[in-house]
Chain A
Amino acid sequence: MSISFEHVSHVYSAGTPYEYKALDDVSVTIEEGKITAVIGQTGSGKSTLVQHLNALLLPSEGTICILDRTIKAGEKPKKLKSLRKDVGLVFQFPEYQLFEETVIKDVAFGPKNFGATEEEAMAKAREALTLVGLGQDTFEKSPLELSGGQKRRAAIAGILAMNPSVLVLDEPTAGLDPLGTIQMMELFHSLNKKYQKTILIVTHDMEQVFSHCDNVVVVENGKIRMHAPVSEFFRDSSLCREMNILPPALIRMKDLLVQYGFEVPQEVQDIDGLAKVIARQVKHHG
């Protein structure tokens, strides 16, 4: 039971003048029960990579092992439906997929497609909606009446209601307000801790990577540039600078403190710890 890519390549519009190789010989293993961040510039192949996870895209070359299934290039995958139930994929701006008359019906759509009865699906939908923080009063509303942030939550609930064991999110917080972003990330964090769900998040926000994720995969020009634990990736700012990534505020703060003559131990990774370090050293001097 694992998620691994072995020498996977993906070519768009093969054999036409528009041919484009989005993934180039990618080999990577995603740790189960962890939150993995997938980062990289626009057009680097992040979205292509994650769409392989539930076989929306099939590899042009190579093999993907996901849970107990194997997807080989050139072979028609079997048990597609059960794979899609187990790997929930939330697209960028998922609010555009809402279509039912009421929010709860829309959330129940996924479970129903995977064979749940009407009552089961409704129960799952209620549970998922509560999980994402939407109240009873929204259940019977039309999705079009919700605010942008609520729509996003409803759409994510639509995937959570399928109870997937792997959750893949493509820029889930893009366009949300700061509070909404924090709540959303906390939700994913608790899903991981409480239900041991494997989570992959495609993101541009280093703060999110730093404070919520366990591992980082850096994609660059269709290749895996780096795969490391977050603590290692952000040990100091040198790796980030090397890849033209703006490090999280805390890391930049540590850099500045060192620059101004403070002694900052490397294992300090949060605001509290950093504040204590500063306080101790300032007191010492005073």
Chain B
Amino acid sequence: MGNITLGRYIPLDSPIHKMDPRAKIMAMLIMLVSIFLPAGWTGYGIIFAVTALTIILAKLSFSFIWKAMKPMLFMLVFLFVINALFLKTGTPLVTVGSFVLYSDAIFQTLYIAVRLLLMVMITTCLTATTKPLDMTLGIEDLLKPFTKIHVPAHEIAMLISIALRFIPDLIEETQRIMKAQESRGVDLQEGKLTERIAAILSLIVPLFVSAFQRAEDLANAMEARGYAPGEPRTRYKVLKLAGRDYILLGCTIAVQLCMIWLAFLR
């Protein structure tokens, strides 16, 4: 469980790491929208090139991206099977008995695989280069305009930052409890159904108990320090857009326009 790569922050020193989280979040959103414009393979080529450049600039390795992609492979295989069974358009390629594999089944799966890969690449560019706390600051700022229509921007940001803050703790706690129960003879991999249910219960119950305990402790600690949601507060870290942030935004908007143009040409 310690080797989950998707969404993990990688502490490195790169220009991308130094960028303003607000600019990076906006850039990510724009790029994600670009993926869903029907710009064809040329479009995907451009997005891939731009994202790959960002990854290189961020000093991230492609094997890291590949590791983040791995959990998606199962989904893709599943998707391919469904497509192969039900998509009957395009040219027939292979015939096995009464089953015919059509070219569109492969194309459709490939299409989704590429989109998925691009999405993982783009989101990884954001999450691997932005500290979770900076990310929530960015989200809070970006949500600020919506407070006019009663969106609790600060509360949402606080919620996210607390949730993020507890992920490593809960992973550690889970591993600890797993080890403790394994010492009592629990086998999480094998066993009869009833045994496995008991095994999972022995993991989940203590995890819930300790999670609630932690939540209560945190709430008390926050209250003891005078935290009240909705009060006006100053910030220790003030975000400021710099030249590189404008460059990033400019580039992504350029990609976006390019995609729209390609979509029109088709």
| CB neighbors of B among A40-58 (8 A) | 51, 54, 56
User: Bound complex: CA of A159 vs CA of B179, how far in Å?
Assistant: 13
User: Bound complex: CA of A140 vs CA of B198, how far in Å?
Assistant: 19
Is B202 at the interface (CB under 8 A from chain A)?
yes
**Contact B185–A99 (Cβ < 8 Å):** no
Interface-located stretch among A81-89, A233-241, A264-272, A278-286:
A81-89
| CB neighbors of B among A76-117 (8 A) | 81, 84-85, 88-91, 94, 96-99, 109-110, 113-114
User: Bound complex: CA of A90 vs CA of B210, how far in Å?
Assistant: 18
- Chain B, Cβ-Cβ closest to A95: B206
Which secondary structure dominates where chain B touches chain A? helix
Contacts of B10 in A (CB 8 A): 17
Is A172 at the interface (CB under 8 A from chain B)?
no
B side interface size, CB within 8 A = 23
| CB neighbors of B among A125-166 (8 A) | 144, 158-159, 162
Contacts of A144 in B (CB 8 A): 209
Contacts of A96 in B (CB 8 A): 173, 176-177, 180, 206, 209-210
**Contact B206–A91 (Cβ < 8 Å):** no
**Contact A110–B2 (Cβ < 8 Å):** no
Contacts of A88 in B (CB 8 A): 183
- Chain B, Cβ-Cβ closest to A82: B185
Is B184 at the interface (CB under 8 A from chain A)?
yes
Contacts of B176 in A (CB 8 A): 91, 96
Contacts of A158 in B (CB 8 A): 184
Q: What's the least CB distance linking A60 to chain B, in Å?
A: 15
**Cβ-neighbour of A110 out of B179, B184, B187, B195 (below 8 A):** B184
Contact A113-B179, Cβ < 8 Å, known A16-B3, A96-B206, A99-B205: no
Is B201 at the interface (CB under 8 A from chain A)?
yes
Contact A99-B184, Cβ < 8 Å, known A51-B179, A91-B176, A91-B179: no
Is A259 at the interface (CB under 8 A from chain B)?
no
**Cβ-neighbour of B185 out of A90, A91, A113 (below 8 A):** A113
Contacts of B180 in A (CB 8 A): 91, 94, 96-97
The residue among B10, B201, B209 with the most chain A CB atoms within 10 A of its own CB is B209
**Contact A89–B183 (Cβ < 8 Å):** yes
User: Bound complex: CA of A51 vs CA of B175, how far in Å?
Assistant: 13
Contacts of A113 in B (CB 8 A): 184-187, 195
Contacts of A244 in B (CB 8 A): none
User: Bound complex: CA of A13 vs CA of B210, how far in Å?
Assistant: 26
Contact A84-B206, Cβ < 8 Å, known A91-B179, A96-B176: no
- Chain B, Cβ-Cβ closest to A99: B205
**Contact A110–B3 (Cβ < 8 Å):** no
Contact A99-B2, Cβ < 8 Å, known A84-B185, A89-B183, A113-B185: no
**Contact B185–A162 (Cβ < 8 Å):** yes
**Cβ-neighbour of B183 out of A13, A98, A99, A159 (below 8 A):** A159
User: Bound complex: CA of A16 vs CA of B10, how far in Å?
Assistant: 11
Binary contact readout A158-192 vs B (1 if CB under 8 angstroms, 0 otherwise): 11001000000000000000000000000000000
**Contact B202–A109 (Cβ < 8 Å):** yes
Q: What's the least CB distance linking A232 to chain B, in Å?
A: 32
Contact A54-B183, Cβ < 8 Å, known A13-B2, A96-B176: yes
The residue among A88, A96, A109 with the most chain B CB atoms within 10 A of its own CB is A96
Contacts of B186 in A (CB 8 A): 113
Q: What's the least CB distance linking A29 to chain B, in Å?
A: 23
User: Bound complex: CA of A89 vs CA of B176, how far in Å?
Assistant: 12
**Cβ-neighbour of A159 out of B2, B184, B195 (below 8 A):** B184
Q: What's the least CB distance linking B35 to chain A, in Å?
A: 29
Q: What's the least CB distance linking B66 to chain A, in Å?
A: 14
**Contact A84–B183 (Cβ < 8 Å):** yes
- The 5 closest A-B CB pairs, nearest first, are A113-B185, A99-B205, A97-B180, A110-B184, A89-B183
25 A-B pairs whose Cβ atoms sit less than 8 Å apart in the complex: A13-B3, A16-B3, A51-B179, A54-B183, A84-B183, A84-B184, A88-B183, A90-B183, A91-B176, A96-B177, A97-B177, A97-B181, A97-B184, A97-B206, A98-B206, A99-B205, A99-B209, A109-B184, A109-B198, A110-B185, A113-B185, A113-B186, A158-B184, A159-B184, A162-B185
> Which residues of chain A have a CB within 8 Å of any CB of chain B?
13, 16-17, 51, 54, 56, 81, 84-85, 88-91, 94, 96-99, 109-110, 113-114, 144, 158-159, 162
> Which residues of chain B have a CB within 8 Å of any CB of chain A?
2-3, 10, 173, 176-177, 179-187, 195, 198, 201-202, 205-206, 209-210
